[in-house]
Amino acid sequence: MKIIEGGICAAKGFTAGGIHCGIRKNKDKRDLSLIYSAVRASAAATYTTNLVKGAPLIVTKEHISDGYAQAVICNSGNANTCNANGIEIAEQMSSILSKALCIDEKDIVVASTGVIGEPLDIKPISDGIPALIDSLSEDGSSEAAEGIMTTDTVKKEVAVEFEIGGKTCRIGGIAKGSGMIHPDMATMLVFITTDAAIAPAMLQKALSGDIKNTFNMVSVDGDTSTNDMVTVLANGMAGNEMITADGENFAVFMKALNTVTMNLCRKIAGDGEGATKLLECKVSGAKDEQTAKTVAKSVICSSLLKAAMFGADANWGRVLCAIGYSKADVDVNKIDVSFRSAKGEIPVCVEGAGIEFSEEFAKEILLEKEIEILIELKSGEAQATAWGCDLTYEYVKINGDYRT
């Protein structure tokens, strides 16, 4: 299994593109993206648990209820959420695109991202469909990734190549996510494509199982978005034997999917709004997996800890504090904590108590762009990892006038 170029277009039969259609005022920013499979594909998705859901999610869930899709259309600049005619607009996006592509409108995944509660005009989207289809290309992953960005500062895409039953398969993904990142199912918007042949039920099983250890373990600011969705399309054009049950082939597919989602998790967390550092909290020695996850997520979500990391302050007490209020069943008198980065590693807490350490060396470690927070609970064999970022002045600036 290896990382390759191509993003969502790495898999056979997939093309993508992105254009500026006029939703955004800035004409230099793409605001409409399209992913297209040459053949109908197995489809799976997970959606936000927020009770307030964007209209596109409701439409998409109904569209792919049969387990199949062939295209994904997504606009940025407007979330199409809390709009009286939101469902109608989302359905119109599908209808117009389906006619242009000559496919069933039920085979279209619809997504939107941006400001909540603003009316979304269908005209720029409708007018832009011909140009959007013309933009489709086997090299179009980057353009599609750009078209779904909001406050993101970098495009997020990755792809891997692997083998199933002697057949070369590929899986790739793009994502957007920078703020309102604290999912309970999936996160932000993530679109994944693969040419592996896998039945819809097994594809859904793979995705639902994977997000528990990947996207559900990411947090930037503690806010669960209304438009969070992860979708996977698998068109089977790699020619492997259809995966219809658990077994070696399914395990290989799961590993490939996890490689893509793990990479996207790191990219999302590292590009948190205003962030200067990627934080990775690794918990080991937990009595069970749920305890490890609870501890890791609590630490990565701590605003005080995130602020300390921004200031390169080795304030390990904030780690213990976050563990303490997590309600995880741990023995606080056994906990060890260390900080690690490219500069090295420094223990700061042993068995729940502070130890002497060099503040100067600790600062060197915490000034790096990627920081690991290592927690050993000494109560078992389970482990978990969570991803987040530091909390900076810039985060407040971005969200202080996000709408206006």
- Residue 239 CA to residue 188 CA, distance in Å, equals 31
Mean pLDDT, range 260-282, rounded to an integer: 91
Give the per-residue pLDDT at 400: 84
Torsion of CA 373, 377, 383, 388, to 10 degrees: -30
Q: What is the pLDDT of residue 207?
A: 97
List, as one string, the DSSP characters of 377-393.
--S-SEEEEEEEE---H
Kindly report, residue by residue over 200-227, the tens digit of the pLDDT. 999 999 999 999 999 889 887 666 667 7
Query: Lowest-confidence range among 130-144, 270-284, 304-318?
Result: 270-284
Q: What is the mean pLDDT of residues 361-371?
A: 98
Contacts of 274 (CB under 8 A, 6+ apart): 391, 392, 393, 394, 395, 396, 397, 398
The helix or strand, by DSSP H or E, that contains position 162, with its residue range, turns out to be strand 156-164
Return the sign of the alpha-carbon dihedral for residues 142, 68, 228, 120.
positive
Specify the DSSP element, H or E, that contains 91.
helix 86-101
Q: In which band, very low, low, confident or very high, does the pLDDT at 275 lie, cut at 50, 70 and 90?
A: confident
Listed as own residue / partner, the contacts of 242-246 with beta carbons closer than 8 Å and 24 or more positions apart are 242/197, 242/198, 242/199, 243/164, 243/196, 243/197, 243/198, 243/199, 243/202, 244/199, 244/202, 245/202
Residue ranges per structural domain of the chain: 2-270, 278-400
Contact 332, 364 (CB under 8 A): no
Mean pLDDT of 288-307: 96
Residue 274's pLDDT is 81
- State the DSSP string of 1-36: -EEES-GGGSSTTEEEEEE--SSSS-TTS--EEEEE
pLDDT of amino acid 180: 54
Of residues 238 and 268, more confidently modeled:
238
pLDDT at position 36 is 98
- pLDDT score at 270: 84
Place 281 in a pLDDT band, splitting at 50, 70 and 90. Answer: very high
Q: What is the number of other CB atoms lying within 10 angstroms of the CB of residue 6?
A: 20
234-243 CB burial, b ≥16 within 10 A, e <16: bbbbbebeeb
Note the Cα 101 to chain centre separation in Å.
28
Average pLDDT estimate for 13-39: 96
Task: Read off the tokens for 145.
Answer: 């990734």
Answer for the pair 162, 1: CB distance below 8 angstroms, yes or no: yes
The reported pLDDT for the residue numbered 187 is: 45
- Find the range with the poorest average confidence among 89-103, 189-203, 232-246, 383-397: 383-397
pLDDT at position 153: 85
Mark 183-193 as b/e (b = at least 16 C-beta within 10 Å).
Answer: bebbbbbbbbb
User: Tens digit of pLDDT for each residue in 69-125?
Assistant: 999 999 999 999 999 999 999 999 999 999 999 999 999 999 999 888 899 999 999
Give the span between the Cα atoms of 346 and 20, in whole angstroms.
48
The alpha-helical segments, DSSP class H, found in 159-310 are 200-210, 248-270, 289-301, 303-310
Q: Is the pLDDT score of 186 beyond 70? A: no
The answer on pLDDT for 48 being more than 90 is no
Q: Provide the annotated active-site residues.
A: 187
Say what the pTM is: 0.88
User: By percentage, how much of the chain surpasses pLDDT 70?
Assistant: 95
Helices (H), 104-172: 122-134, 141-147
Mean pLDDT of all residues belonging to the chain: 93
Nearest alpha-carbon partner for 140 in 43, 15, 267, 261: 15
* Alpha helices for 178-247 (secondary structure H): 200-210
The architecture (CATH level 2) of 278-400 comes to: Roll (3.10)
pLDDT over 50 at 185, yes or no: no
CA separation, residue 96 to residues 42, 62, 91 (Å): 22, 17, 9
Angle subtended by helix axes 317-324 and 289-301, to nearest 10: 130
Show the tokens assigned to 302. Answer: 């701590």
| CA contacts within 13 A on the Cβ side of 194 | 37
3-class secondary-structure state, position 404: coil
pLDDT of 269: 85
Phi-psi region of 215 (alpha: psi -120 to 50; beta: other; left: phi over 0): alpha
Amino acid at the residue 138: E
Q: Which CATH number is 2-270 given? A: 3.60.70.12
What's the first-to-final CA gap in the chain, in angstroms? Answer: 45
